[in-house]
Every structure is written in structure tokens, then in C-alpha cells.
């Protein structure tokens, strides 16, 4: 830190820049915008950076994608390959595949950019999902942020479509097989399936237009939509200001953190370079989608282990798990075995995510704005739903890779399918029940810590020979942080009696809502009241007979007997 | 303004009771070692500068690697160019990022700031003012008083949907030929890739031949196949077959299919009836055929019946016979529609059944 | 070591030790697996009557308990068999099954796994000679069809086409193997000798269908082998992994990618050491 600081406008460089900056401000009114935002406060927590990973991987995708477009040929016209990769030389293939091989083997840095692009794509969707889970489990989607939640879901679904389009572009055997499966799913759309398929492929599968069409969607249409939604997502973030964790001095009415300029800008900007650098290192060291081993697409060929990229794995798994139902009604054939898992699974996931904030608001009747995050344990039912959802997604994903898992671990694919068919229904229910119990247990532990202090690990012997563990009150800051959350509402049997205690024929809606409320809050351990705390403090204060004084830094001892400190 | 934040409660009731522990307020700022120890500060400064300088060096090395390392050079069984370019570029970027972050963490001021929030909703005055403006606009536009103009405008905008949709009509033709393939009576079943016709004597029990209709390969004396190049892909996606030979006593043909094979040689569609993956994972002892994509399993000794997995319809069988030279040929096209199901399949199948 | 011991109580010490242990176990496993499965070099000589005799002796000791004293097979009461009849399976079949260690089986299971062979090259040759003498069957392939190094570039490309049409559905496009019903599997092709690949195509061991020389000519079989060897010997251009397809890539995405970047995020958000007062 230098002792004296010269304001930038007085430095030689600043003096030179004053003219052009003034010129710009005369026309754009930059100072007005900058005044509001330069020192805007962003709270800091590692989990707030998951969305940033997604944002920066998208930038990496744009940069690496532009590079790839210089050589990639979105054409299904036939060429004879004569590039560097010997085992394919002389083979007839589409220009799309030949140009992908060209990028991989003949362009310096081409393979690197391809791998960066693919890793970044997989990371983009992974980071979006992780960010979404963070927002879900902390209740950050609550009023006023429901719209931003919906925009996020739009981004996630667009990201998945964008990823699938990109996966299809190399026109190798793997991506062609993926398209074939997509065609089967389109055919399963009731009544109009055949028409959709013929329109999409410009005739019979595979036709010669699907690659150019997907290319247009992949480099223009969907990225433009994603960019627009990202802009809206960020604008709303700035308008609402970021949520924060509760803590001393951190309330619903303020936001505590570091200013946009310089600290946050440095950390976020630095993180961009970290994400780019990290992705580049992955592209340098880890191989992804070695297109050359698959060969050109041929509808009569397939390879064992034909899977979609990870984010479509759950849809692939659902296709494998579905029983083989198909029925014909009034002359129309309905392929439930494809439609329900293939189209229904995706629709179910995004619908469930989209309506959740509104369902929860209806249940809790909570109309307030929320800027403080909730710890997952303090919303046990929400957390349980989330974990059930993750379990569902995870089991479906496992089913999507069951042949790989079976060959790598010597399992039976049939047995895996039969097990997963049951597990995909039972698993989420179990996960729900267990998670809610764990949350409630943690709530109880929190309550105990606030009221009775924490366990120090010091065992004391009383004069009459009994043993007990000494408890020590939590520091005031921690006690406040633990209890800084909403109180659970009193659950009344809604609508059953009027103000005179006379039973009213409650509407079904009200009864349903009352039941949902009971379900949502069932078993929740509320935080202690001020009286509870006062009472407990008296009790805790009674003990003072310990021979050794415990310093301020003391935080109990670990299992191995080593003192823990702050 | 900020008082509005907690005015409306849950259903207007059950407002959270006072917190059991009073908010102690923001804790006092604590200093970092770099704030108090000039040696630490200088060390951090050196660290950050070192990272930036190393990054610059790595970028120079990137350029060197770009020109010095051949694109097909190999190191440790990996592409040397890929590793050299990726590690220098990625390492440099990573170091820039880490340097900036380290700078922010260690040297930039780290006093936390407090900013007040405002409710997301606009103020009552703003809402009233906007409503006034909207009403004035509607009044001045005469929109409210002239329903005919309004309705006809809405109608014309609605009608704009028609050209927008119709324009997409030529994305593709209407569905055609979904129930038929290029197979026709007397067409030879030839080995895929080599295009050679097949005699029954060349196939032993337990053998699998991935085959195609002869139309995809140049036949005796022809320069080029009738269907070749890219235009092969669509018909191939429907016509690909597998020929297998089992012991005749193991096969239980359905009524009417007894003479579809030749001494235990049967021919089935290679396209899964689930979503269309090509299938040829045939087990010679169990006679089961597994689809590698979604694990539908068909029993080829039992008319291609589905015995496991998500596929619904049995695998269509291509009736075989021998031509005058003793080669395998098709008796006809598939009598059951091959490939994944589609909405009209039941009706198309009925039509096929009535024709045959 | 001192720095190590002072950090043994670090929050991340447990996970770090676990990770190291797992990596070490994986390394040991990889080395052992490679040692067990590394290919034996093959050499076949001409067959003599003495070979047949010696083969019969070996057969009676090592094979007859399942396949019967005259190689006629032994039926079970349920109509299956302990061991199938071997009359007419030919020398190629014996050379494949015994040469890849599949026979004799260590225990009955869905499928005989590949393991280190129990018989020497010489003994295998004698066994093959004996079984071949029982009835006509596919013989051990001629050397010229195993010399895949002689394949030209066009041959390799053509072999690739045959490979993708006939083999990849089960064995995967890099020969990594694949799953079959009921716990069976198509084995991986890494380290399998040209002779054994040829014999597998010719005889169709276990559930594998056969591909007779009339339908896929010996030369095309050689081309397929050449392609397999070319793909397996080629560098892993893009870096580590990536040959098992998108499922494994997905695991990398979450563990290396998201995992690594989250560690960076934790570093950015961490507050680090603090002091109470500014001196």
C-alpha cells in the first residue's frame, strides 16, 4: 500500500484519457450507470460461484466454437477421406465427418480446441445443474426471484438441446446412432410423429439436411437464445442483488460483501481465466470423444457403448428401464415405451422444476421477499424433495450407462435393469424419508447446541464417581447465525371451524392445502424462543467448577484428544 | 422504503417471533497477515507478479510449440502438439486467473461493505403514475372507443400465423414408404461390405452374416450399384438384415413362416423395433439377439419374439429362398413393418396384411 | 517428513490418504493385470503322430472329466452338458480355447474368462492335434493370414469396414468389449494375438457367432486383425482416457471438471488467516 495516492484523473495517463472519456460520457452518460454499479456489493461464498463456472464455460464455448467454425463443413455431401488419419483414408464419408477429422489431425491446435469445446460444453451443463441445486437447496428461488429461476430452467433446457445438436455434428457413427434414437423418439409423438420426423430430416432418416439444420441451430439460433437469457438472468441478479447467508449483521434488508470494483471484479474476472485455463488443461490432458475411432455414420453399423453425453444419460436410462408398452387406439399407434421415458422424462423434469417455487409458495402461503438463504436442514421437506430428485436422476443416469458399468464390474445387464426398474421408484421415496429425518435430526442438534452448548469432549468425574461430558456455551455470533431463520408456522386445521368454533364445510381446496401444509412442516423442530434461551442460559451458567480455565479460542477437543481452536 | 420488506407476512399471520438471540451486528474487521506484516505483503506481491510473468512465458512457449512441434508428433503415447499447446495455453490462463485472484485476496482492501436492499416492487406512486399514462395513451389512441379497428387488427395479426406456419411446409415431404423397403422378390442377400452373394453351404450352424440387399452393390458386370453413395443411407437404414443359421430342430416357426428359411438359415431385419439401432449381438447358443443401445432382446429361434427390454414388436423376418444359381434371395419384402413404431404403423400393417 | 506429520490432522488429510490409497491400488491392479494378460508369442509346427498321442494323454488327464474320455461330451441329467462334444471342432478351436486360458475352466460360470494359459505352447499344439484327429474341423490358420503387418493402408481401411459392420456391436469400436445378456460379455480385444482373433472369428467360441472363410475371406479376416491392431496400437491422441465413450467422460466432467473448479471456488471464497489487531 503506497502512502500517498494520486487520483487517477491527476496522473499523466489519466490526463491524457480525460478527453476521450469525457467525449464518451457526453454521449452515453456513463457516469450515471457507473455510479450505481461500480461499488455494488456482492456477498462472498464458494457456492455463489457455481453459476459463474457455467457463465465462463459458455464464454469458452463461444471462443472455441468460433475457432472450430473456420474449418468445420456442415455438409452431408460425400467425400473420400484423404487426410492424415491412416485407418480412414480412402473411405467415403460426409464432409462433416471428414472436416472433423481434418480439425483433429491436420490443424495445429484443432484437436485441442475440439476437446476444450467438448469439455466446456459438458462443464457448462454440469455447472448449470450444480448452480441450480445450490439455488434450490438454499431456497434462493423464493420471491422475488421466481422469474430468474424460470429463466435458469430455460437456460438449462436450451443448454441440453444445444449440447445434443453439437454432439450430432461430427456425423460419426456415435452421433449418427444418437440421431437415430432421436428419430425414434420423434416418431413416438402421438399422431404427428411421422410428419415431424419427415419434416425434421427432410424426408426419410437420415436424409441430407439434418447436419446443416442442426448446425444453424447450434451456432446461431440456440446460442442467441442462450445469450439473451443470460443477459436477462444477470440483469435480474443485479436488480434483486445477490442473496446472502444469514449471520451477524447480515439481514433481509441489507447485503454485506465486497464491492464490484475492485475486489469482486478481480475475483470474478480471475475466475474466468481459471475456468478457461482449467478447461484448456483438461483439453490438453484428457481425451474426449475420439471421433476417429467410431468411423463415419452408417445406419447398418453400431458400436457397443453407444451413449449420449452425460446430461442426456438420464433420458437414455429411462428408455432402457421402461416396460415395452405400446397400444393402438382408433388406428393410431402409441409407443408408450418410447414416448413416456424419452419425451415424458424430460418434460417431467423441467415441469417439476418450473412449478416447484409456485407449489411451495402455495403450500407455505409465504408472500414475503427473501434475501437470506435457508440452510437445507431448515426446510426439511424441500431438501428431501431435492435429494429424491437427485436420486431419481442418478439412478436413471446409471441405467443409461448400465452396459459400461456391467462390463467394467462384471455385472449382469438384465439384473441391473430389473433392479433399477424397482429402485427408480423406491429409491427416491427412501431418499425422501431418510433426508427428511436427517434434516430434522440436524435441526434438533442445532437446537441443543443453542440451548445446552456444544460438547467439549472433556469428560468430568463427579465426586460420587459419575461421568459426564462438559458442555460449553456457543459463542454469541454462532448462536445468532444458527437461529437466524424463519420460525415454523403453527399448524392449524385450516377451514374446519369458523370464528365461533362451528364446523364449516371446508372447500376441498382448503382441505388439500391444509394437508399439504401439515405434510410440509411435519416433524420440523422449531428454533428455541427467547424464553427457552434465557432459561437454558441460567442452567448452563450454574456450572463453574472446572479446575482449568478454557480460553476464548477453545472449541472443544477432537476424538484424538487434540484441542480444536477457532 | 426498506420497511416494506417485512410488512406482508405469511397469510398475514404467523409473523416470525422475535429472534431468540439478538443480532450482534457485523463483527469487527479482522486484518490479514498481509495488512500488518510488510514482509508478507512483499511476498504476496512477488507471488502475484511471478504468476503473471510465468503466464507470459508460457504464452511465448505456446508460440514456440505451435511452430516447433509437428502436428502428428507423439509423446508418451499422446499427441505432443495437443499437450504442448494445451498445457502452455491452459497453464498461462490459469496463472493469470490465479494471480488476479491472489492479488484480490491478499492485497486489495478487504473491508466488507454494507448496501441496503429495496423491495423489488415499484412504489405506489410509480404504479399510479404509470396507470395514468397508460390510460391517457389508450384514450388518445381511441383504442377503447373503436373496437372494430382493434378487433380487425387482432384478426390480421392472428392470420399472420398462417403464412408463418405454411412457410415451413417444405421442410420435408409428407411421410412416404414407411411400410416398405428396397427388398423385392428375388433380390439377392449379399454380404455387407464385400457385396458377395451367399450360398447356404457357406454358412455353418452358429454363423452370423451381416447382409444387405444386392441393390447396394454393383452386380455382375455393373460399374456402379443401382443405389450408391450417400443415397444408400436412407434405404440402408430400413433394409439392413442379418442372416443366421441355427439347427433346424431348434427353430419353432409360426404358422405360415415354415418355409421362410433354408435348412435353419433365417434372415431378420437388423433394425431394432424400439428406436432403430442396428442390432447384431447374436448369441449362437441361446439364439438371443441383443440391441446394444437399450438392451431389447429378441429370440431368433422363436420368430424374433421380444424376450427382454423396451422393444414391443418382434423383429421382422425376411422370407428367404434360393435363386437358380443357388444363392440366397428374398421371397418378398418384409411382411411385418421393420424399424421403430410410428403412429400410422398399425394401419399400414393392416394394409400389408390384406395385400398379402 | 516433519511437514507431513504436522499436517496429519488437517481437514483434508483423511480424504487425501484415501485418494492415495485408491490410486496405489489401481496402479497395482493395472500392473498385475498387464502381467497376467500379456500375450504369449505363438508358433505352430507341423503335426506328427507323436503329437496326437501326447495330446491324447494330456486330454485324458486335463479335459476328459468334462468332455468325456473320447471327447464325446458328458450330458447332465437336465439335458445340458458338463462339457460339449469336441469331435469335429477342429484344431483352431482347441488352440483358441486352451491358448487363451479359457479351457480348462477354473469353475463353471456363465462364460469361460480369459486367463493365463495352463498349458505350454507345445502342449496346446499336442492337444489341438489330438482333437483335430477325431474329426474334420477348422484348422489352425496359415501364417500368411496372420501377418497383419503385411496389410496395406487400403487393407486396413477395408478391415475397418468389416470390423464396424460385424464386430463393434459386441466388442466396441476400440475393442473394449461389451455387455451381453445375463452377465455374459463380449471380451475386450486388447492384447489378443492375431492367431486367437482369427480363430475366434473362424470357430465362434462360446456365444460368439462364427464367420466362415467363405463369407469373410481369410484375407478380409487378416484385414480386420490389421485394423484392430492399428486402432489399439495408435496413440491416445487427445490424452488420458476417452476410449470408453461418453459415460466415462461424464464421470471426468463431474469429478475432475466440476470437482476441480469447485476447489478453486472454495479457495476464492476462503478467508484464510486473520490477525486481531493492526500493529
| CATH architecture for residues B189-219+236-355 | 3-layer Sandwich (2.102)
Q: What number is the average pLDDT over the span B16-32? A: 82
Chain C residue with CA closest to A177: the answer is C169
Cβ within 8 Å, pair A174-C182: no
Q: What is the pLDDT of residue B313?
A: 97
Of A50, A282, A307, the CB nearest to C245: A307
Q: What is the pLDDT of residue C7?
A: 65
Can you tell me the distance from the alpha carbon of B342 to that of B246, in angstroms, rounded to the nearest whole number?
Answer: 32
Half-sphere exposure at residue C176, Cβ-oriented, CA atoms within 13 angstroms: 21
Q: Is residue A531 part of a domain?
A: yes
Of B202, B278, B283, the CB nearest to C215: B202
Where in A454-536 does DSSP place strands (E)? 454-461, 467-472
Can you tell me the distance from the alpha carbon of B78 to that of B81, in angstroms, rounded to the nearest whole number?
Answer: 9
Residues 147-166 of C with CB under 8 A from B: 158, 161-162, 165-166
Q: What number is the average pLDDT over the span B28-56? A: 94
Q: Which residues from B are below 8 Å from C184, CB to CB?
A: 283
Cβ within 8 Å, pair B240-A281: no
- B288-290 and B281-282 strand pairing: antiparallel
Cβ within 8 Å, pair A413-C247: no
A25's CB contacts (< 8 A; 6+ apart) are: A31
Tens of pLDDT along B226-235? Answer: 888 888 999 9
Q: Could you tell me what percent of chain B has a pLDDT over 90?
A: 82
Tens of pLDDT along B150-199? Answer: 999 999 999 999 999 999 999 999 999 999 999 999 999 999 999 999 99
Tell whether C204 is within 8 A of chain B (Cβ). yes
Tens of pLDDT along C148-196? Answer: 999 999 999 999 999 999 999 999 999 999 999 988 999 999 999 999 9
Q: Could you tell me what percent of chain C has a pLDDT over 70?
A: 87
Owning domain of residue A241? 40-305
Q: What is the pLDDT of residue C45?
A: 47
The strand order across the sheet containing B288-290 reads B281-282, B288-290, B297-299, B305-308
Of A286, A306, A413, the CB nearest to C239: A286
Residues 86-125 of A with CB under 8 A from B: 92, 94, 105-109, 111-112, 115-116
Greater confidence (C143 vs C82) lies with C143
Q: Is residue A428 part of a domain?
A: no
CA–chain centroid gap for B61, Å, is 38
Sign of CA dihedral C244, C245, C248, C252: positive
Q: Is residue A516 part of a domain?
A: yes
CA proximity to B244, closest of B272, B264, B274 = B264
Fold of the CATH domain C139-261 = Cytochrome Bc1 Complex; Chain D, domain 2 (1.10.760)
Going from N- to C-terminal start, the domains of chain C cover: 43-138, 139-261
Cβ within 8 Å, pair C246-A294: no
Q: What number is the average pLDDT over the span B26-35? A: 90
At residue C278 the predicted structure's pLDDT band, cuts being 50, 70 and 90, is: low
CATH assignment of the domain containing A57: 1.20.810.10
What are the φ and ψ backbone dihedral angles of A333, each rounded to 5 degrees? Answer: -95, 130
What are the DSSP calls for B146-199, one per residue? -HHHHHHHHHHHHHTHHHHHHGGGGGSPPP--TT--S--TT-BEEETTT--B--
Place of cell 492424415: A84
Q: What is the pLDDT of residue B14?
A: 42
Establish whether this prediction's ipTM goes over 0.90: yes
Can you tell me the distance from the alpha carbon of A487 to that of A477, in angstroms, rounded to the nearest whole number?
Answer: 19
Q: Which residues from C are below 8 Å from A115, CB to CB?
A: 238-239
Q: What is the pLDDT of residue B243?
A: 97
Per-residue pLDDT 10s for chain A (566 aa) are: 445 788 988 899 999 999 999 999 999 998 988 998 899 999 999 999 999 999 999 999 999 999 999 999 999 999 999 999 999 999 999 999 999 999 999 999 999 999 999 999 999 999 999 999 999 999 999 999 999 999 999 999 999 999 999 999 999 999 999 999 999 999 999 999 999 999 999 999 999 999 999 999 999 999 999 999 999 999 999 999 999 999 999 999 999 999 999 999 999 999 999 999 999 999 999 999 999 999 999 999 999 989 999 999 999 999 999 999 999 999 999 999 999 999 899 999 999 999 999 999 999 999 999 999 999 999 999 999 999 999 999 999 999 999 999 988 989 999 999 999 999 999 999 999 999 999 999 999 999 999 988 888 888 888 888 888 888 888 889 999 999 998 888 776 555 555 665 656 667 888 888 899 999 998 899 888 888 888 888 876 665 555 455 666 666 766 666 666 54
Q: Give, in order, the Cα–Cα distances in Å from B171 to each of A201, A216, A385, B168, C147.
A: 8, 14, 42, 6, 52
Chain C residue with CA closest to B292: the answer is C169
Can you tell me the distance from the alpha carbon of A400 to that of A379, in angstroms, rounded to the nearest whole number?
Answer: 32
Q: What number is the average pLDDT over the span C229-234? A: 93
Asked if B123 and B1 touch (Cβ cutoff 8 Å), the reply is: yes
Q: What is the pLDDT of residue B322?
A: 96
Greater confidence (C34 vs B307) lies with B307
Q: What is the pLDDT of residue A65?
A: 97
Report residue B193 as a C-alpha cell. 461390405
Can you tell me the distance from the alpha carbon of B241 to that of B244, in angstroms, rounded to the nearest whole number?
Answer: 10
Q: What is the pTM of this model?
A: 0.91
- A454-461 and C81-83 strand pairing: unpaired
Chain A residue with CA closest to B350: the answer is A331
Asked if C251 and A314 touch (Cβ cutoff 8 Å), the reply is: no
Greater confidence (A270 vs C6) lies with A270
CATH H superfamily, domain C43-138: Cytochrome c-like domain (1.10.760.10)
Among the ranges given (B26-30, B320-324, C252-256), the one the predictor scored with the smallest mean pLDDT: B26-30
Q: What is the pLDDT of residue A468?
A: 83
CA-angle at A52, arms to A48 and A56, nearest 5°: 170
Considering its fold, how many domains does chain A have in total? 2
CA distance C54 to chain B (A): 31
Q: What is the pLDDT of residue A91?
A: 94
- B78-79 and B288-290 strand pairing: unpaired
Q: What is the pLDDT of residue C74?
A: 86
Q: What is the pLDDT of residue A505?
A: 61
Q: What number is the average pLDDT over the span B266-280? A: 96
- Top residue of C88, C177, C186, C209 to mutate, by most chain B CBs within 10 Å, is C209
Q: Which residues from C are below 8 Å from B30, CB to CB?
A: 274-276
Q: Write down which chains contact chain A via at least 3 CB pairs under 8 A.
A: B, C
Tell whether B198 is within 8 A of chain C (Cβ). yes
Q: Which residues from B are below 8 Å from A324, CB to CB?
A: 274, 296, 306, 309-312
- Top residue of B28, B41, B208, B216 to mutate, by most chain C CBs within 10 Å, is B208
Residue C81 has pLDDT above 90, yes or no: no
Tens of pLDDT along B332-341? Answer: 999 999 999 9
Q: What is the pLDDT of residue A501?
A: 59
Q: What is the residue-averaged pLDDT of chain C?
A: 86
Amino acid at each position: 500500500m503506497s502512502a500517498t495516492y494520486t487520483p487517477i484523473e491527476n496522473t499523466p495517463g489519466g490526463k491524457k484519457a480525460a478527453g476521450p472519456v469525457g467525449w464518451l460520457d457526453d454521449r452515453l452518460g456513463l457516469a450515471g450507470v457507473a455510479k450505481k454499479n461500480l461499488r455494488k456489493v456482492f456477498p462472498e461464498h464458494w457456492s455463489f460461484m457455481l453459476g459463474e463456472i457455467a457463465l465462463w464455460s459458455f464464454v469458452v464455448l463461444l471462443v472455441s466454437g468460433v475457432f472450430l467454425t473456420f474449418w468445420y463443413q456442415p455438409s452431408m455431401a460425400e467425400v473420400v477421406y484423404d487426410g492424415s488419419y491412416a485407418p480412414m483414408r480412402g473411405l467415403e464419408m460426409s464432409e462433416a465427418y471428414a472436416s472433423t477429422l481434418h480439425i483433429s489431425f491436420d490443424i495445429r491446435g484443432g484437436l485441442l480446441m475440439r476437446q476444450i469445446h467438448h469439455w466446456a460444453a459438458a462443464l457448462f451443463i454440469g455447472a448449470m445443474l450444480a448452480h441450480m441445486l445450490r439455488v434450490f437447496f438454499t431456497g434462493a428461488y423464493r420471491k422475488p426471484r421466481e422469474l430468474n429461476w424460470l429463466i435458469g430452467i430455460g437456460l438449462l433446457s436450451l443448454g441440453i438441446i444445444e449440447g445434443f445438436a453439437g454432439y450430432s455434428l461430427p456425423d460419426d457413427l456415435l452421433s449418427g446412432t444418437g440421431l437415430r434414437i432421436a428419430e425414434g423418439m420423434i416418431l413416438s409423438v402421438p399422431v404427428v410423429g411421422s410428419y415431424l420426423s419427415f419434416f425434421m430430416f427432410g424426408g426419410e432418416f437420415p436424409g441430407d439436411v439434418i447436419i446443416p439444420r442442426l448446425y444453424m441451430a447450434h451456432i446461431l439460433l440456440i446460442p442467441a437464445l442462450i445469450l439473451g437469457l443470460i443477459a436477462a438472468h444477470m440483469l435480474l441478479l443485479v436488480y434483486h442483488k445477490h442473496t446472502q447467508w444469514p449471520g451477524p449483521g447480515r439481514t433481509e434488508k441489507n447485503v454485506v460483501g465486497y464491492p464490484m470494483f475492485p475486489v469482486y471484479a478481480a475475483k470474478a474476472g480471475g475466475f474466468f481465466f481459471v475456468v478457461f485455463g482449467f478447461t484448456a488443461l483438461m483439453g490438453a490432458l484428457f481425451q474426449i470423444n475420439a471421433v476417429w475411432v467410431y468411423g463415419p455414420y452408417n445406419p447398418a453399423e453400431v458400436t457397443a457403448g453407444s451413449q449420449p453425453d452425460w446430461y442426456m444419460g438420464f433420458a437414455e436410462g429411462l428408455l432402457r428401464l421402461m416396460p415395452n408398452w405400446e397400444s393402438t387406439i382408433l388406428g393410431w399407434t402409441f409407443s408408450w415405451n418410447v414416448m413416456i421415458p424419452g419425451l415424458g422424462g424430460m418434460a417431467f423434469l423441467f415441469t417439476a422444476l418450473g412449478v416447484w417455487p409456485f407449489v411451495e409458495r402455495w403450500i407455505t402461503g409465504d408472500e414475503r421477499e427473501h434475501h437470506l438463504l435457508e440452510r437445507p436442514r431448515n426446510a426439511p421437506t424441500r431438501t428431501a424433495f431435492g435429494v429424491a430428485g437427485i436420486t431419481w436422476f442418478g439412478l436413471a443416469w446409471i441405467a443409461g450407462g448400465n452396459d459400461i458399468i456391467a462390463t467394467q464390474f462384471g455385472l449382469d445387464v438384465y439384473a441391473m435393469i430389473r433392479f433399477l426398474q424397482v429402485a427408480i421408484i423406491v429409491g427416491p421415496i427412501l431418499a425422501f424419508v431418510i433426508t427428511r429425518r436427517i434434516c430434522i435430526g440436524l435441526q434438533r442438534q442445532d437446537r441443543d447446541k443453542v440451548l445446552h452448548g456444544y460438547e467439549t469432549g472433556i469428560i468430568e468425574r463427579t465426586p460420587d464417581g459419575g461421568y459426564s461430558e462438559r458442555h460449553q456455551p456457543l459463542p454469541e455470533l454462532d448462536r445468532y447465525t444458527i437461529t437466524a431463520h424463519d420460525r415454523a408456522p403453527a399448524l392449524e386445521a385450516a377451514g374446519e371451524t369458523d370464528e365461533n368454533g362451528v364446523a364449516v364445510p371446508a372447500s376441498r381446496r382448503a382441505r388439500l392445502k391444509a394437508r399439504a401444509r401439515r405434510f410440509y412442516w411435519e416433524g420440523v423442530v422449531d428454533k428455541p424462543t427467547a424464553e427457552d434461551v434465557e432459561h437454558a442460559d441460567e442452567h448452563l451458567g450454574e456450572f463453574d467448577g472446572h479446575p482449568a480455565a478454557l480460553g476464548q479460542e477453545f472449541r472443544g477437543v477432537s476424538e484424538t484428544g487434540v484441542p480444536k481452536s477457532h | 422504503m426498506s420497511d416494506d420488506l417485512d410488512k406482508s407476512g405469511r397469510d398475514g399471520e404467523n409473523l416470525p417471533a422475535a429472534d431468540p438471540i439478538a443480532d450482534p451486528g457485523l463483527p469487527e474487521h479482522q486484518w490479514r497477515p498481509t495488512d500488518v506484516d510488510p514482509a508478507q505483503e512483499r511476498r504476496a506481491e512477488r507471488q502475484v507478479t511471478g504468476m503473471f510473468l510465468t503466464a507470459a512465458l508460457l504464452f511465448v512457449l505456446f508460440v514456440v510449440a505451435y511452430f516447433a512441434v509437428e502436428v502428428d508428433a507423439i509423446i508418451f503415447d499422446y499427441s505432443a502438439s495437443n499437450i504442448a499447446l494445451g498445457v502452455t495455453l491452459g497453464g498461462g490462463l490459469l496463472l493469470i486467473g490465479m494471480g488476479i485472484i491472489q492479488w484480490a485476496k491478499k492485497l486489495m482492501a478487504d473491508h466488507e461493505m454494507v448496501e441496503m436492499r429495496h423491495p423489488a416492487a415499484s412504489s405506489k406512486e410509480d404504479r399510479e403514475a404509470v396507470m395514468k399514462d397508460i390510460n391517457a395513451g389508450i384514450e388518445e389512441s381511441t383504442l377503447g372507443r373503436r373496437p372494430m379497428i382493434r378487433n380487425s387488427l387482432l384478426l390480421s395479426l392472428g392470420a399472420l400465423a398462417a403464412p408463418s406456419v405454411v412457410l415451413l411446409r417444405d421442410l420435408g415431404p409428407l411421410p412416404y414408404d414407411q411400410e416398405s423397403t428396397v427388398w423385392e422378390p428375388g433380390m439377392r442377400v449379399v454380404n455387407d461390405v464385400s457385396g458377395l452373394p451367399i450360398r447356404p453351404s457357406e454358412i455353418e450352424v452358429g454363423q452370423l452374416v451381416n447382409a444387405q440387399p444386392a441393390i447396394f452393390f454393383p452386380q455382375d458386370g455393373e460399374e456402379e450399384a443401382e443405389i450408391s453413395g450417400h443415397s444408400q443411407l436412407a434405404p440402408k437404414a430400413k433394409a439392413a438384415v442379418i442372416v443366421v443359421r441355427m439347427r433346424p430342430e431348434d427353430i419353432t416357426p409360426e404358422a405360415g413362416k415354415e418355409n421362410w428359411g433354408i435348412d435353419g438359415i433365417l434372415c431378420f431385419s437388423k433394425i431394432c423395433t424400439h428406436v432403430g439401432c442396428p442390432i447384431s449381438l447374436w448369441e449362437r447358443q441361446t439364439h438371443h439377439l441383443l440391441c446394444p443401445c437399450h438392451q431389447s432382446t429378441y429370440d431368433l429361434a422363436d420368430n424374433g419374439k421380444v424376450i427382454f427390454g423396451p422393444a414391443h414388436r418382434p423383429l421382422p423376418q425376411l422370407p428367404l429362398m434360393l435363386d437358380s444359381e443357388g444363392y440366397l434371395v428374398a421371397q418378398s419384402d418384409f411382411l411385418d413393418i421393420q424399424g421403430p413404431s410410428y403412429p400410422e404403423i398399425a394401419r399400414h400393417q393392416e394394409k400389408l396384411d390384406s395385400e398379402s | 517428513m516433519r511437514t507431513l506429520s504436522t499436517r496429519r490432522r488437517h481437514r483434508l488429510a483423511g480424504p487425501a490418504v484415501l485418494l492415495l490409497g485408491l490410486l496405489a491400488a489401481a496402479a497395482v491392479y493395472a500392473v498385475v493385470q498387464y502381467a497376467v494378460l500379456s500375450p504369449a508369442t505363438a508358433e505352430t509346427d507341423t503335426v506328427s503322430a507323436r503329437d496326437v498321442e501326447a495330446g491324447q494323454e494330456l486330454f485324458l488327464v486335463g479335459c476328459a472329466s468334462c468332455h468325456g474320455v473320447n471327447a464325446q461330451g458328458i450330458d447332465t441329467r437336465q439335458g445340458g452338458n458338463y462339457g460339449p462334444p469336441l469331435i469335429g471342432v477342429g484344431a483352431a478351436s482347441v488352440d483358441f480355447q486352451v491358448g487363451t486360458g479359457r479351457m480348462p475352466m477354473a469353475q463353471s460360470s456363465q462364460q469361460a474368462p480369459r486367463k493365463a494359459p495352463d498349458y505350454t505352447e507345445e502342449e496346446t499344439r499336442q492337444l489341438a492335434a489330438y482333437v483335430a484327429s477325431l474329426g474334420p474341423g477348422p484348422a489352425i490358420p496359415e501364417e500368411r493370414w496372420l501377418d497383419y503387418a503385411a496389410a496395406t493402408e487400403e487393407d486396413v481401411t477395408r478391415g475397418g469396414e468389416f470390423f464396424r459392420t460385424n464386430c463393434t456391436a459386441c466388442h466396441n469400436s476400440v475393442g473394449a468389449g461389451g455387455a451381453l445378456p445375463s452377465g455374459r460379455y463380449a471380451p475386450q480385444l486388447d492384447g489378443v494375438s492375431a492367431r486367437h482373433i482369427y480363430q475366434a472369428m473362424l470357430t465362434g467360441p462360446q456365444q460368439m457367432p462364427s464367420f466362415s472363410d467363405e463369407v469373410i475371406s481369410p484375407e478380409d479376416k487378416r484385414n480386420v486383425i490389421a485394423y484392430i491392431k492399428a486402432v489399439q496400437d495408435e496413440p491416445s491422441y487427445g490424452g488420458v482416457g476417452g476410449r470408453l465413450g461418453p459415460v466415462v467422460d461424464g464421470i471426468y466432467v463431474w469429478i475432475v471438471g466440476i470437482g476441480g473448479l469447485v476447489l478453486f471456488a472454495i479457495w476464492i471464497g476462503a478467508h484464510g488467516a486473520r490477525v486481531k489487531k493492526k500493529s
